[in-house]
Amino acid sequence: MIAVASIPAAHPYAAGVAPTDDPSVRLLPDPRPIDATTPDQWWPPRLLEPDYLRAHVDDIDLVHLHFGFDAATPERLAEIVHILRESSTPLVFTVHDLHNPHFADADLHRRQLDVLVPAADAVLTLTTAAAREIERRWGRAATVTPHPHVAPLDLVAAVDRQRSATPVIGVHAKTLRANLDPEAVVPTLVAAASARGAVVRVDLDDALFDHTSHWYAPERGERLLAFASHPDVDVRVHGRFTDDELWQYLSEIDVAVLPYRFGTHSGWMEACRDLAVVPIVPDTGCFADQFPCPTFTFGPDLFDPDSLDAAVGDALRRPVLDASFADFRRHQLAAIRAEHADLYSSLTGVTGRDTAAVPA
């Protein structure tokens, strides 16, 4: 049995693609961080602590890194790589981000990738556009593994796939992380919606108004609240959505605009696709390469309002995917998991070591 340390194992993407239905693979749980405050906390990953990894590497057959290295220096990542090489433990690295969406300055992330991409025994990514960029930057061939479904398959199969009589165009500002700029796009969306008999809905996390929160940004929050003065704009403030609340939200909108100034891939747009919402994505990063959808010109210092207006028209004209999409997602996930199992087997010589879980 192959003992796989997926970092982090509890992240929905990593857990989703892990071939846990394959009897030859055992997905190890995330070691509990020393200062964890909740039972399911995986960050910061202990397996990215050199001393911890060195003490437990003999219990691991393969490491698959997805996320969680934001705060790791390139030097620490190089030490992690050295420990894995020294123990002949393969490293698989899925490049989700070429530009970390949480940081406008891409320098640290670029230097982290400069360590991880050349060192990995296998490199995966989510789109052909990202694979081309990986080849250009590091001369590494990356295997493209598309993003699987995000919403539960029973919901994907049961979703109401009829357009609303009055279409709703949603913009979720969330906590206004570094790459989000909803203020820039809402005025254009209001005009575009009004011209087409639609309305705009803007959602904000209440953490923006909580002075104890890391995300406290009341001035930006108030500017977004001010859009509620327009009769065709509904602004809502609430706590961070649970999964069920997110699915409900997506059932209440027809189009979702992702105002990302930078970034690479998006799970949010995949959730939209699952639940019959048409995403409008920027032409920066690799978003538009995940699947065909309307795009607009938007970047760190660039915005073309006319392109967004045209994208709204395109989105409202697009046919909704039929119920067979759930079957596509089911088969897609099975193929992704099988590809992961085959990769793990090829890198470990099939059998691996029959080990217990990594101790906390």
Residue (of 36, 340, 315) closest to 167 by Cα position: 315
Helix (H) or strand (E) holding 107: helix 107-119
Q: Mark whether 112 and 181 lie in a shared domain.
A: no
86 shares its domain with 221: no
- pLDDT of 78: 99
Which residues lie below 8 Å from residue 88, measured CB to CB, with a gap of 6+?
A: none
Q: Could you tell me if residue 13 is inside a domain?
A: yes
3-state secondary structure of 157: helix
Residue 276: DSSP 8-state: T
Q: Do 291 and 246 fall within a single domain?
A: yes
pLDDT value for 355? 42
Q: Are strands 298-299 and 302-303 parallel, antiparallel or unpaired?
A: antiparallel
The answer on 128 and 26 residing in a single domain is yes
User: Could you give phi then psi for residue 298, rounded to 5 degrees?
Assistant: -155, 135
Count of residues making up the chain: 360
What's the longest Cα–Cα distance across the chain? 64
Q: Enumerate the β-bridge partners of residue 171.
A: 202
Report the pLDDT value the prediction gives residue 323, as an integer from 0 to 100: 82
331 CB-side CA count, 13 A: 5
Tokens 């030490």 belong to residue: 79
Instruction: Classify residue 335: in a domain, yes or no.
Output: yes
Same domain, 87 and 218: no
Judged by DSSP in three states, 257 sits in strand
Count of domains for the chain: 2
Whether residues 340 and 295 share a domain: the answer is: no
| pLDDT tens track, the chain, 360 positions | 999 999 999 999 999 999 999 999 999 999 999 999 998 899 999 999 999 999 999 999 999 999 999 999 999 999 999 999 999 999 999 999 999 999 999 999 999 999 999 999 999 999 999 999 999 999 999 999 999 999 999 999 999 878 889 999 999 999 999 999 999 999 999 999 999 999 999 999 999 999 999 999 999 999 999 999 999 999 999 999 999 999 999 999 999 999 999 999 999 999 999 999 999 999 999 999 999 999 999 999 999 999 999 999 999 999 988 889 999 999 999 999 999 999 999 999 854 444 444 455
Same domain, yes or no: 309 and 339? no
Is there a single domain that holds both residue 230 and residue 99? no
Contact in structure between 182 and 168 (CB atoms under 8 Å): no
Question: Do 302 and 208 fall within a single domain?
Answer: yes
CA 52 to each of CA 45, 144, 158: distance values in angstroms, whole numbers, following the listed order: 10, 31, 45
Whether residue 156 is contained in a domain is answered as: no
What counts of helices (H) and strands (E) characterise the chain? 12, 14
Q: Which residue is associated with the tokens 């640290």?
A: 108
Q: 359 in a domain, yes or no?
A: no
In the prediction, which pLDDT does 351 show? 42
Note whether 64 and 189 are same-domain residues: no
Residue 355 within a domain? no
pLDDT at 162: 84
Same structural domain for residues 168 and 309? yes
User: 112 with 238, same domain?
Assistant: no
Residue at 326 is within a domain: no
Inter-axis angle of helices 182-194 and 305-317, nearest 10:
50
* Whole-number pLDDT of residue 357: 45
Whichever domain contains 20, its CATH number is: 3.40.50.2000
Cα R_g (the chain), whole angstroms: 21
Range of the domain at 177: 162-317
In a domain, 309, yes or no: yes
| In-domain check, residue 238 | yes
Place of tokens 């709204």: 312
User: Nearest CA to 286 among 307, 305, 266?
Assistant: 266
